[in-house]
Chain A
């Protein structure tokens, strides 16, 4: 079975500050890991994904995430937050079924203060 835990349902940072959104996973098989972002009234958009190539994955809008097997983590970071980064972020895992089923975390709402 697979599961995802996102620590912190709400994270607030100042504009220009480091963004760190935490994701821990549980998986009995090698996982594929995803970060999606949802802006208001829009669908989930892929930020980046880990598919067992490089452990440090770079995504869109300056985000990156590092796969750490020893810590079962896939935290999302961005060096400098921008107001436009305010959104809900979802971490997801797949790999257990080959049907593409994604198992999501509960989501983290990122607030960026001016």
Chain B
């Protein structure tokens, strides 16, 4: 069964450094998402992406964050200058169709620790 994959599974970085989190969505999916979960808190929506454009972004997704689909398979989340509070589990998800009723398929997550 196709699945969403994410790399790396864990990343440790110094405050102020740039990080890129990588995701390979399911191959025939067209809608892509990033969520994050700070330890002990809810899973939070960051951004949705379709047709090489951001469809919606949350207040969390400020100028330090960017997303890109650099080729036909990868979907990346970049944090330009990491802060301590960016430490979290980051989940990528993809969906086949548009619409709020559509199922999103999640990857296993990347645990980011900012020191």
Chain A interface residues toward B at CB < 8 A? 32, 34, 36, 41-46, 49, 51-52, 90, 92, 94-107
In the complex, what residue of chain B is closest to A34 when comparing beta carbons?
A: B103
Total A-B residue pairs with C-beta atoms closer than 8 Å? 74
A19 to B108, CA, bound (A): 25
Chain B residues with CB below 8 A from A49, complex form: 101, 103
Q: List 8 A-B contacts (CB under 8 A).
A: A36-B106, A42-B108, A94-B100, A99-B50, A100-B55, A101-B45, A104-B42, A106-B41
In the complex, what residue of chain A is closest to B43 when comparing beta carbons?
A: A104
Closest Cβ–Cβ distance, residue B26 to chain A (whole Å): 12
Partner-contacting stretch, out of B64-72, B78-86, B91-99? B91-99
A82 to B36, CA, bound (A): 29
Q: Tell me which of A32, A45, A98 has the highest count of chain B C-beta atoms within 10 A of its own C-beta.
A: A98
In the complex, what residue of chain B is closest to A29 when comparing beta carbons?
A: B100
Q: A45-B106, A96-B100 are in contact. List 13 more A-B contacts (CB 8 A).
A: A36-B106, A43-B3, A43-B108, A44-B43, A46-B103, A46-B104, A94-B100, A95-B101, A99-B100, A100-B33, A100-B102, A102-B35, A102-B45
